[in-house]
């Protein structure tokens, strides 16, 4: 079903995010017939481009970032024709007239502003939108990471936006929420009766969340200012934790869901004082060189003047949620660059059975595990015990009940931005972060960051292609547990 016709104004139209993510995502939705053909995408940025040049940029982005099987010449021609461009130096009052000409004043046409720009430009752009009367009460504004580097700076950004836009007009993207498999967490938990009764401290021993990446970080300029805690934990991983841990919301209404996520964030036990050393580990990758391969370490990727950086490229931590459901159930989180493989998964480790009748059997019963694989090889696996078939005695074996998305569904899995970009037009904020959530996440993360900054030690080294520093293994093994690694 096509969404309402729209004018999507993209500030930062020639930037990386637009080329790599936004245009390919819009293309897929267009190709599937979800655009009303009168919809327009209006690029805004400082470069002096003509409409035709911007259309070429759109075509190039499709050519480079959309799988060849989905590239259709006729569709690309029609898609490119909805792009137009306005060269606009945000600081220069004179340019705004061109945007006025490009925008249509029809209340039936949804007006959305996507600010794919650095945080410094968010304020000035919002002010101009208001001053130049582009603002409408039903207009939408989309903002992206980094939404601050600590609580204060994030409040400043939110205040700036709030001077012009009401909260119900603000769409804060955390692209993890747009991932199919992340949304599937909601279906898994709340469309099945099976899990909810055991989803608590009585039945669950602990939970692991891993977002491991095999790519490095060093060539992306901003990363050194950010580090894994701000780049991944503060947003993506805490959002995952919320979806796993929250109470069932009363409906799928955006605020019903976000209220529940907020409660989880506010119930997180603060990691302060000596707990920082006990519950967190930060690492930084070191290069490896052998006869066949050589991969640079984080320091070697940095420009000369940044060498010696103590920015963490890996974090492992133990989080606890102080409420009835989760008391005594640790959540172990880990994320890092240049790790052994690319994998994001959630492991729910259930408790052992209370009493075993299998003392004489071969193989002891192992606790059940539910493994939710977010990427790649998306799927859900339930590890359970069965009797090994055969005429012999009782032999117990752990086998997976395995749901692989690729094998079960033929369709391609849409990218996160496909869903999110159109949800903005639909006016559906469910998969976007509300201000109070974002600020609660910063409040939890800030003391950890501050303690690390004060600490005299550097991040622990780990070799490229491994699962992180030994400290991360010790973190969980001290509790008599181990990281799940089945590759």
**Cα(235)–Cα(333) distance, integer angstroms:** 13
The catalytic position among 236, 355, 360, 484 is 236
Indicate whether 213 belongs to the interface with ligand BG6 (CB under 6 A): yes
In the complex with ligand BG6, the residue whose CB is nearer, 220 or 366, is 220
The position carrying tokens 């959630």 is 346
**Are 335 and 366 within 8 A, CB to CB?**
no
Strand, coil or helix: 313: coil
To ligand BG6, the closest distance from the beta carbon of 5 in angstroms equals 30
Give which of 12, 39, 45 is closest to 26, Cα–Cα: 39
**Cα(85)–Cα(52) distance, integer angstroms:** 8
Pull the structure tokens for residue 91. Answer: 């600081």
In the complex with ligand BG6, the residue whose CB is nearer, 24 or 330, is 24
Map residues 282-301 to x or -, x wherever contact with ligand BG6 holds by CB under 6 A.
--------------------
Give the relative orientation of helices 51-65 and 73-80 as an angle to the nearest 10 degrees. 140
* DSSP code at position 321: B
To ligand BG6, the closest distance from the beta carbon of 172 in angstroms equals 13
Tell me if residue 236 is catalytic.
yes
The four Cα atoms 118, 120, 123, 124 give a dihedral, to 10 degrees, of -100
Entry field: residues in the chain: 487
Is 337 annotated among the ligand-binding residues? yes
In the complex with ligand BG6, the residue whose CB is nearer, 81 or 219, is 219
To ligand BG6, the closest distance from the beta carbon of 231 in angstroms equals 5
Is 179 annotated among the ligand-binding residues? yes
Site size for ligand BG6 (CB under 6 A): 3
Residue nearest to ligand BG6 (CB): 231
In the complex with ligand BG6, the residue whose CB is nearer, 213 or 446, is 213
**Cα(71)–Cα(68) distance, integer angstroms:** 5
Q: Find the binding residues for ligand BG6 in span 322-381 (CB under 6 A).
A: none
Is 46 annotated among the ligand-binding residues? yes
Is 19 annotated among the ligand-binding residues? yes
The binder of ligand BG6 chosen from 19, 40, 145, 338 (CB under 6 A): 145
* DSSP code at position 138: T
To ligand BG6, the closest distance from the beta carbon of 405 in angstroms equals 16
To ligand BG6, the closest distance from the beta carbon of 315 in angstroms equals 12
Largest interatomic CA distance in the chain = 86
**Cα(51)–Cα(371) distance, integer angstroms:** 48
The binder of ligand BG6 chosen from 7, 224, 231, 312 (CB under 6 A): 231
Written as one string, the DSSP assignment of 187-204 is HHHHS-TTTGGG-STTTE
Is 374 annotated among the ligand-binding residues? no
In the complex with ligand BG6, the residue whose CB is nearer, 216 or 330, is 216
* Active site residues per annotation: 236
Q: Binding site: which residues?
A: 12-19, 46, 89-90, 145, 175, 179, 213, 231, 337
**Residues in contact with ligand BG6 by the rule CB under 6 A:** 145, 213, 231
């Amino acid at each position: 079903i096509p969404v309402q016709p729209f004018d999507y104004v993209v500030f930062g139209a020639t930037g990386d995010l637009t080329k790599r993510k936004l245009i390919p995502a819009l293309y897929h939705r267009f190709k599937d017939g979800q655009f009303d053909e009168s919809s327009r995408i209006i690029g805004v940025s400082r470069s002096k481009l003509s409409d035709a040049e911007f259309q070429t940029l759109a075509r190039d982005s499709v050519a480079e970032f959309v799988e060849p099987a989905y590239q259709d010449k006729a569709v690309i021609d029609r898609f490119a024709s909805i792009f137009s461009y306005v060269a606009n130096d945000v600081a220069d009052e004179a340019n705004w007239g061109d945007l006025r000409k490009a925008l249509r004043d029809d209340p039936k046409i949804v007006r959305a502003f996507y600010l794919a720009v650095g945080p410094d430009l968010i304020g000035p752009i919002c002010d101009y939108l208001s001053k130049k009367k582009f603002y409408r009460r039903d207009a939408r504004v989309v903002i992206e990471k980094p939404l601050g580097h600590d609580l204060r700076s994030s409040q400043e950004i939110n205040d700036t936006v709030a001077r012009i836009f009401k909260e119900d007009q603000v769409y804060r993207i955390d692209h993890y929420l747009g991932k199919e498999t992340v949304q599937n967490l909601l279906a898994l938990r709340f469309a099945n009766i099976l899990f909810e009764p055991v989803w608590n401290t009585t039945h669950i021993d602990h939970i692991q969340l891993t977002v491991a990446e095999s790519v490095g970080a060093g060539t992306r300029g901003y990363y050194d200012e950010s580090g894994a805690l701000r780049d991944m934990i503060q947003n993506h991983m805490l959002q995952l934790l919320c979806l796993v841990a929250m109470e069932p919301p009363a409906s799928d209404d955006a605020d019903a869901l976000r209220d529940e996520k907020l409660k989880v964030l506010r119930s997180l036990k603060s990691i302060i004082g000596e707990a920082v050393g006990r519950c967190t580990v930060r690492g930084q990758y070191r290069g490896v060189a052998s006869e066949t391969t050589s991969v640079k370490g984080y320091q070697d990727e940095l420009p000369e003047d940044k060498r010696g950086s103590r920015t963490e490229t890996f974090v492992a931590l133990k989080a606890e949620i102080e409420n009835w459901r989760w008391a005594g159930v640790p959540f172990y989180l880990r994320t890092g660059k240049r790790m052994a493989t690319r994998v994001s998964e959630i492991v729910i480790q259930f408790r052992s059975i209370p009493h075993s009748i299998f003392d004489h059997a071969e193989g002891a019963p192992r606790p059940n595990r539910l493994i939710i694989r977010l990427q790649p090889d998306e799927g859900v696996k339930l590890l359970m015990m069965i009797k090994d078939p055969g005429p012999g005695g009782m032999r117990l074996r752990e086998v997976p009940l395995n749901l692989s998305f690729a094998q079960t569904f033929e369709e391609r899995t849409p990218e996160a931005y496909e869903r999110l970009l159109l949800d903005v037009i639909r006016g559906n904020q469910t998969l976007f972060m509300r201000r109070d959530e974002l600020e609660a996440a910063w409040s939890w993360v800030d003391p950890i960051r501050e303690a690390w900054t004060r600490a005299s030690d550097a991040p622990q080294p780990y070799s490229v292609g491994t699962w992180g520093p030994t400290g991360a293994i010790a973190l969980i093994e001290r509790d008599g547990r181990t990281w799940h690694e089945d590759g």
